[in-house]
Amino acid sequence: MQKLIAFVLAIVIVISAPAQTVQRPKLVVGIVIDQMRWDYLYRYNERYADNGGFKRLLNQGFSCENTMIPYAPTVTACGHTCIYTGSVPAINGITGNNWRDNQLNRSVYCTEDSSVQTVGSNSGLGMQSPHNLLTTTICDELRLATNFKSKVIGIALKDRGGILPAGHSANAAYWYDTKTGDWITSTYYMKELPEWVKTFNAKKLVDKYYKEGWNTLYPLNTYVQSTADEKSYEVKAFGSDQKGFPYNLSRFAGTNYNPIIATPFGNTLTTEFAKAIINNEQFGADAITDFLAVSFSSPDYVGHSFGPNSVEEEDTYLRLDKELGGFLNFLDTKIGKDQYLVFLSADHGVAHVPAFAKEHNIPAGNLDMQLLFDKINAGLKQKFHIDGLAVDIENLKVSLNLPLIQSSSLKINEIKNWVIDYLSNQKGIAAALDMDNIATTTLTAKQKEMLVNGYYAARCGQIQLILQPQWIENYVSGGTTHGVWNPYDAHIPLLWYGWGIRPGKTNREIYMTDIAPTIAALLHIQMPSGSVGNVIQEIFN
């Protein structure tokens, strides 16, 4: 009898015992640095602070040293979307920062949404949402997994850098209004800014940064990893009279809130706002995992203007290192050491300024896309006697006027062949091809895969250009850009740190698409709906 009673009690205890709780961190912080080449981790490594962000992540976290972007074009909207969806433009639909929509027959901005209004200012810069994104993000999946109890917010100076990572179901996304110097959002998320955001904006931190000006963090002569401070091929981002350090920014205080984005203080503003979110929205304050998606946009603006070998770029990264170190210390105090998970990556890299490359006998050049487009249309008119047969060049793709061609007696393949023949004979263009026939081209397997992964027919031009190495589109008068398949644009950093991460590194080839499914595995949630990546097994404890 006693044995029977004991057996029954044991069954009751087993049945009534609570299920094993899924182990998750209190907070996930995704950090995307807009325009960070992988080699910046080591180019400036000796100058990074021991208590800064990059060395801490490298030495105490896990580094995927050979992480590549698996598609082209390698631009901001596509990069942020890929990181958080585990998907590629061919699936998630974000084929560029802008694209030619063949159904709407017009150019479309990646996060434009005329059905919403700005919240937080009187400008039209808030008419944005994730409306054009076709898949879920890892942030959406976390919200779904916790029955929308997890809090998710995305932030960036750029609207697309905050909106696309946070996904469709985020509590909020915030971005910077260059007309007012404030953080704003749209009616997609809320009707009015929270009081704490209003209070933050009222501080007018940008004016404070302007009055401090931008000088180098260390003596100018110690920036030995950079070219001379003043180079003719650098864009004069703060006025033609300001040719180098120190930059006097006080003239912009209270009048022009755009120049701050091309300084390291754009990163400072972003960091301070990230801290304010964690403090005021109680991120990481309970057992339900929250997600903060942070994108640092300023390195992209600095890089475009001054190039990867500039003093401005080096100083931006030395300052960002300190920002990240301070932010990690803040997370240690606020959330608790090893209670949060951080990953750091980039949306793309960048090419050297062509004029800089030429100084060192490296072949390079610029392709004026507007001039090229005009010549294509002029040639098509001369050949086929109809004006306007091409309507756009975007993301290195030529868009043809499909309605006009369909309503005429012209054959589209004849038009395509003429454009391809013309482009193939232009300086700086390695190849031009019909995306409908890419399988039959003589491109390498990697190039084909990247171009196919970046192609969503309804949002892409029909003819693809491939530039010669070191050639860039536009920026003819100075500066540089990104967007191509080459490693300088496609090789990005990927660092993991904190909860559940085993310190170390791997040189195995890993892809940007692997980030989201790896987070899904760490959190024990479903991967995003368009994910094609794989879990990075090496990072797990």
Gyration radius from the chain CA atoms:
25
Per-residue CA distances from 307 to 226, 234, 408 (Å): 10, 7, 46
Q: Residues with Cβ < 8 Å from 360, sequence gap 6 or more?
A: none
* Buried-exposed string 250-261: b where 16+ CB fall within 10 A, e elsewhere: eebbeeebebbb
Could you tell me if residue 502 is left (phi over 0), alpha (psi between -120 and 50 degrees) or otherwise beta? beta
User: Any catalytic annotation for residue 21?
Assistant: no
**How many CA atoms lie within 13 Å of 363's alpha carbon, on the beta-carbon side?**
5
* Two tokens, residue 16: 């009534």
Considering the candidates 76, 216, 263, 271, report the single residue annotated as catalytic.
Answer: 76
Q: Are 491 and 37 in contact (CB under 8 A)?
A: yes
- The helix or strand, by DSSP H or E, that contains position 152, with its residue range, turns out to be strand 152-155
Cβ proximity of 121 and 177 under 8 Å: yes
Asked, as a colleague might, if the bond just before 264 is cis with ω within 30 of 0, I would say no
Instruction: Identify the three-state secondary structure at position 153.
Output: strand
What are the helix and strand counts (H, E) for the chain? 19, 19
What's the CA gap between 501 and 134, in Å, rounded? Answer: 31
Q: 């015992």: which residue's tokens?
A: 17
User: What are the distances in angstroms from CA 338 to CA 25, 146, 253, 275, 504?
Assistant: 8, 21, 40, 18, 16
- Active-site annotation, residues: 76
